[in-house]
Every structure is written in C-alpha cells, then in structure tokens.
Structure 1
C-alpha cells in the first residue's frame, strides 16, 4: 500500500502546531521544593505529562498515567511492542531570552519556546505520526506505545518508577536527538568535587555561585568578595573591567565599602558539548584565582581555574580518554557553589565517557591530580553506562532506509555524548528530530524548532513507525 505521508501530515499541520503551542506554555521545569506525592518532580512536569496524555485520550488511544511519574499512549495489537520515548520536562529557561520562553512565538518560520526542540516538539511530531497511522486504520502486527516521561533532564526517576509498574517494550527509538540516527551514546556520570570552606587570606570569598544543572554550561556566575580596604576593592574592580574586556564573557561589579560583588555572563551550551559554550563560572574563578585568598576559598578557586577552566576533555584532571568508535570523553563543569554558611563547597563535573573507562577510573585520576587540595569525591545523579546498537540491527537499518528515502541523503551511524531514553532498551536508539546542519539550541536561550523540520520529521516518523510495526 503506497501512502502519501506528506499529504497526511499537511492535512494536520494546523492541529499539530496548535497542540504544540499549548504544550509549550506549560512551564515544566523540575522544582524540588514543590515536590509532593501527587507531583513527584514538581507541578510543572506533572501538568505537562497530563496535558500530553490528554491528547491521547482525546484521539481515542489507550492511555495510562503511572502515578504522575510517566505514562503511555498505545494502540495496535501483537506480541511485540515498539516503544517510542519522549519527555515533557525541560531544563530551566535561564536568562537572555528575547521572548518569553513559555509564550511560544513564531519568527522567520521558527517556533521559539523552551522545549520546542527538546523535547516537546519532536514528541508531538512522533505522536502525530502515530495518530496518522491510527486515523488511516492501517494494519499492524505489533503494539505501538509512546512512553511519556517527566524527569529526563534530571535523574530519570520517572523511568525507574515506570518500569517498576510496566513491561519494557521490545525495541524502539526516542525522538530526542539527531537524524540520520544515534545508535550509540557515551556513558554519563556526574562526579562531585567537595572542598572544605575556609578563608585565611587578605581577601575573603563569601559566596560564589554558578550554573543551574549538570547538563548545562553555566551562562551566569556571581561572587561576593570582602577585601581589607576600599582601595583594594577599587583596584580589584579596575582589574576586573580590564579582564572582561579581553575575554569572551561580559561582567559587572558593585562596590559597597570593602565588599565587591561580581556578576559574569557567559554562553550556554548543552553539557554534552561544553566546547561550544563559555563557562561563566570558570572565567570568574580564573580572575579571582590571581588574588590572595587562602584555605578552602583558595582551593575552590584554584581547582576551578587551574584544572577545570577551558578544559572540555578532562585533560588537566588526568581523565582524558578516547575510544576509536565512540570518540573522546567530554567534561562539563555545570554547578559551582561556595557559601561560608555551608559545610563545604561544590564543583559538579559531568562526564560523557566512551566505552573503555569507568566512573571509578575517572575518580581515581581526578583524586591523583587534585587530592592535595583537600577534596573529596562522590558520584551524583543518574549514572548511565555506554550504549551501542550495531548498524546491522534491523531496527537501525530500517530507520536509516526511511531517512534516506525521504531526504535523499546517505544515512550513517552516529555516537553522541548526550543521553536519551533510547538507551533504556537493549535495542533502542535515538532518531531525530534535528536534521544535519541544524542550529542546535537545546538547553540554550532562544531555543527553537524550524516548522519545516517539525513537519518533515513527522513524515519520517510516520513512515518509520508503520514499517517497524506493520
């Protein structure tokens, strides 16, 4: 049966866009201080999950909400289940947006909003692909289940809970990355560097904060420093202004007597690609490390400046590693916290590592390099091991065939540092929705998805789902 998938998508463009806009209006950032039994990751992720599931109920699918952690939208019959995995939670919007991140705006054929490309837009594309197949009443030999998560950007607690209650699909994909395919993903682990609090120098570091999440390059950082004299503060301000003028960051300072407060702006990027950002926190630490701090304050600043700043591959920490297939390890310093009211300071390092090394090896290497600064290391967050599905697998071959037929471009395997729900399945991959040459704005201000790409992805998903499940 020859099906004109483009025609079917064109007939539903307006509905798809309307549904996506409404979903993007839900501020689905995780808020730990608002967690309840009814909202395990805060009200935003819960509300977005329920909103997405409501589309499935409206359109006549079988729908299940698993305790507001996750849910699924399902149709079809058969012994095997094709799983499609998307997520409704988003990273914090942060600053530097030109528009309201939760009021979707279309400009120059692009839809701007937090979550437009990661992952509400691609999820809606995959959902509408399912809807087309259902609307056309096409025969299937397998079940098709769209699993909707709400904690992908944090600890994956949604999927841990979901799979305690529900059966795992047999194979599938996540529309949360790039075309032509992502059939390999590096390991993902956060190593927390704890450093004691202390100040014995002529300069006192009272506070230092930078970053929002492990998987985001910090776009802003601040520090509060107390000097001995107002002359020291004034001289420090002059030096800071000169420093900012010679670096890729922006910055301001405010003097109040002998106290000076610094604010620095950098450039955000996804934590899997820290080399494309400018880490505001390490640039600020590199400036402050030139001054006479001592004790824990000096250790904190020096580790950040000498061992983390502008090192995206863990070379200064002795953690660098490269695999011929999976490529280089990358490192993102995502969170910095120093406060004299707390017991210790924190630098959170997020590693995307290839097969051949491990968290234990990384920690041993880091301790060898900076153990003399009184640090202790702990593993934090959700540790994901490296994942790979061979090119010869029928799932990979089918998806690449679909991509090639609809784009005219050769489909090749790709391995990334980002982590997607595709790795939840032994035979799981990531498939779209970013096309080659696309400007990646995931986890950055002014995130967008091009409408033409959204519709094109829907066409590809519809054909792919049908071929995999018919």
Structure 2
C-alpha cells in the first residue's frame, strides 16, 4: 500500500477529526493561567494534542503558547507549522460558523481553510507515514500555533526554547508554493501643526481609514468656511471633473465633507480607490492659506497622489518578485497634529534601507517625521533552492499542474519560522474564502491536501 492509498483508507477519520476541531470556537479571548490566548484557543490546542496522542505521536504543550506532535528519531527535524486560532466569525453565514456541517461536499466553519482543516490534513499525513513504517532520517513535528491571527506571539515563545526545523512548510497560503514574500513595513508619518490656516478655509479635522494595510474606503473632513456657497461650488466642480464620490453637508458651524472610495488589501493598493487621497486632492483645490496642514496636504498630493508604487516619492523598487507597493491607510488630523499610517512593501532582493533612505531624503526639511516603525524582513528562496524543488516536485506529481512557484506582497506564517515556506492549502482557481463569511473546505480538497502534505513530509524527512 502506498501513501495515497493509506490516506483514502483514513478518509472518514480525517473528515470527522476536521469537523470536531472546527466546532471549537478558538478566537483569542481573555488570558487565563496556562491559557495565554483564552479558553477557546486552549481547548483547540488540547484537542489537537489529544488527537495526536491517539494517533500514536508524542505530544508537547508549551505552556499554552504552542504545542506539537512529534514522530521519528534523529538530531534534526522537519516541521509543518500551522495555527489553530481563528478570526471572529462575523455575520452573513448561511450555515452555523462552528457547526462544521457538510453541504454540497463542503465543510462550512470558521477555520476550515485557515488553518485547522490543513493542520488535521498534515497530522493524518504523518499518520500514513507512521502506519506504513516508511523509513525516516529526521524527526517530524506538526507544530500547532495559537496566535497567528492576532500578533504571532506564539512562535517567538517556541523559538525561545526550541531550535528551528532544518526545513518545513506552513499550510497558510496557496498552491503551488510561495517562494518569496516582500519585506513589510507599517509606520506613521507625523507633523506638528504650528502654523494655523489663515485662508478662506480652515481644516478642523480629517479622519479616514481603519488600518494601515487596507486601502481606505472612507474619509471625512470638517471645515470652517468663510464663504460656504463658493466652497460648495468648488466641490461640485471637482466632483464633475474627477467623478469621485464626494458628499457634503452643513452641520452647525462646520462643512462636513465625506469621500467614498473602494477598499482593497494593502499589498495590492492598485485594486482599490483611496478615499484619503481623494480628500487630499479636493483639499488641495481649496484656499487654506499658508499653513502647516496645507504644506502636508500639498506634499502628499505632489509625491503620492494616486500612485501606489512610490514612483514620485523616489522609493520605487522592482525585481523578479515584483514592485514596491505604497499604501496610505489611515489619517488622523486635529488642529495641532496630523498622523498618517503607511504600509510599504518592498521586493524580496532589496534591503529595508534601499526603500527607507530615499523615503527619508524626500521628507527632509518638511517637518514630517517617521514614527512607530514596524518591519518584517522579506522571505526569499530562489526557485532552484532544495526546499523549493522538493515541494514543487511533490505538488506537480500529485496534481499534474506545472505552475511555477509564486511571489506575493502579503506575509504568511512562514516568516515566523526559519527555513519554512508557505505551501497551500488553496488550490489555483478556487475561491479564496479565508476570513470570509461561509468559509469552507471542500471534502475532496481536504483529502488531496492530506496526500500532498504526507508526500511532502516524507520527501523532506526520508
């Protein structure tokens, strides 16, 4: 019997175990002793470790931060790293979000595709190897993370006590394989507003956007206007000229202006319409007088506008893994200060300094400062790297799909663990229902994923 036949034999077990873990609501909650991310996450981890023991593996719970199932002997180990925590279910479900019901060949539940279903697949993939007594030269660990969705504080805890695997993958993205992930920054630019407006229009506040890594679909400004009818005329002309969706209303002493855009992920800002930059474009048409807020608005209109790759800012970069992306995500302005949150992602063969040196040069002398910088290094494995070649061979052998490995602008769980790449579970052409209402995994895909992961584990550990 080969690996794939063994998995077919375990089909009902795989489905049942997947359903059982999906019934546990594992959204981060109030920490308790031994449960750093709350009761639900702890229950999910307990279930995975208990199942691991029932399948014949050693299991370890590292103080509720992370756990793992282990099989085999040897100094080195390979790993499958996934997470059991999920995002909140939200509204709009046609089936119970923790019911794990099967309809039309699909298991519906929060976490079905991200990441519980694939982790059960990896666990049963290892069971197939164990039951067939296939020879391994390395240990294998299935590592159950618990905090991927809300901070990734789990894997630093793991690496504090354990050495990293020599090779591994995470079922936390898409097939065929993610071989490159851009460097990722989220930071604020801030400016103190000392020189106040003395023109026909004073800006009392601007607020827009929700997160740095989302294209904002809404922005609002409150204006004190000397000649309301004149400003209304300018806004109407601007709407006719641009086609932007803008609305305004007089509320007490303020003219409230609202801009409506289209949201998109911060890694692909070109797919959205940025409401903040719509608002800045409008405000640039108004007489704000010589003021610090005018200089800030004019600066961003000149050097960003509706560009999404940092061209005019001077920090554009491009290589085989793609182009730099530049997203204006949030703005918050009062009469004394303006803060803007940016999300810049740079191609994988460049360094942080290659982006930030020209960025800092552009803001020199403007009074604009960088604040609260968060940075993740890029992840890059060349296409001829041994780990890439082995995982791609398994994928191609099982699916007969000759697609090339891909580079992405987003960040996956693989960035948290050395020597690790993102490998599945979403097949090319399938709907991406991760974090959506009615998240599901197709039963046949679950079984196919189990076969791919079993063969990948064996290829890496044999």
TM-score range, shorter chain: 0.7 to 0.9
Structure 2 match to 1:222:
219
TM-score, normalised to structure 2, is: 0.81
Correspondent of 1:433 among 409, 425, 436: 425
Report what 1:396 is aligned to: 388
* Inter-partner Cα distance in structure 2 for 1:387 and 1:445: 32
Question: How many Å separate the matches in 2 of 1:244 and 1:52?
Answer: 56
CA shift at 1:467, angstroms? 3.1
**What TM-score comes out, normalization by structure 1 length?**
0.79
Deviations 1:204-248 (A, max 9, x none): 242413122x4x32354332413236935992897399479934x
- Map 1:274-423; keep pairs closer than 5 Å: 274-293=269-288, 295-323=291-319, 325-334=320-329, 336-340=330-334, 344-355=338-349, 357-378=350-371, 380-393=373-386, 395-423=387-415
User: Would you say the 8 A contact 2:177–2:424 is kept in 1?
Assistant: yes
In 1, are the aligned partners of 2:97 and 2:438 still within 8 Å (CA)? Answer: no
Q: 1:53 touches 1:72 (CA, 8 Å); kept in 2?
A: no
> How do residues 438-457 of structure 1 correspond to structure 2 at under 5 angstroms?
438-440=430-432, 449-457=441-449
Q: Does 1:176 align with 2:172?
A: yes
Query: Which residue matches 1:468?
Result: 460
The structural deviation recorded for 1:343 is 5.2
Alignment of 1:55-204 (within 5 A): 55-60=48-53, 61-89=57-85, 98-99=92-93, 103=97, 115-134=111-130, 140-152=136-148, 156-197=152-193, 199-200=196-197, 201=199, 202-204=201-203
**1:319 to partner: Cα distance:** 0.8
| SS of equivalent residue, structure 2 residue 294 | helix
2-side partners of 1:228 and 1:217: how far apart? 31
For residues 276-321 of structure 1, the C-alpha deviation after alignment (integer angstroms, 9 at most, x for no partner) is: 3333433344344433446443345445544344322221211111
Distance in 1 (CA, whole Å) between partners of 2:229 and 2:372 is 39
| 1:419 partner SS | coil
Q: State how far apart, in whole Å, the 1-side matches of 2:269 and 2:440 are.
A: 19
How many residue pairs get aligned? The number is 452
**RMSD of the TM alignment (CA)?**
3.9
Cα distance, 1:385 vs structure 2: 3.7
Q: Cα gap change, 1:37/1:188 in structure 2, threshold over 3 Å: closer, same or farther?
A: farther
Partner of 2:22 in structure 1?
21
Instruction: Tell me the SS of whatever aligns to 2:225.
Output: coil
CA deviation after TM superposition for structure 1 residue 450, in Å: 4.8
Residue-by-residue CA offset, 1:88-131 (whole Å, 9 max, x unaligned): 4556788xx64399926877766666655444443343344335
Given the alignment of the two structures, is residue 270 of structure 1 paired with residue 265 of structure 2, yes or no? Answer: yes
Post-superposition Cα deviations, 1:337-395, rounded to whole Å, max 9, x if no partner, equal 3142875513222323321x3222322212333435421124622421442255241x3
Alignment of 1:246 onto 2:239: no
Aligned to 1:12, what secondary structure does the other structure show? Answer: helix
Q: Contact (CA 8 Å) 1:195, 1:374: kept in 2 or not?
A: yes
Task: Answer with 1 or 2: which has the greater Rg.
Answer: 2
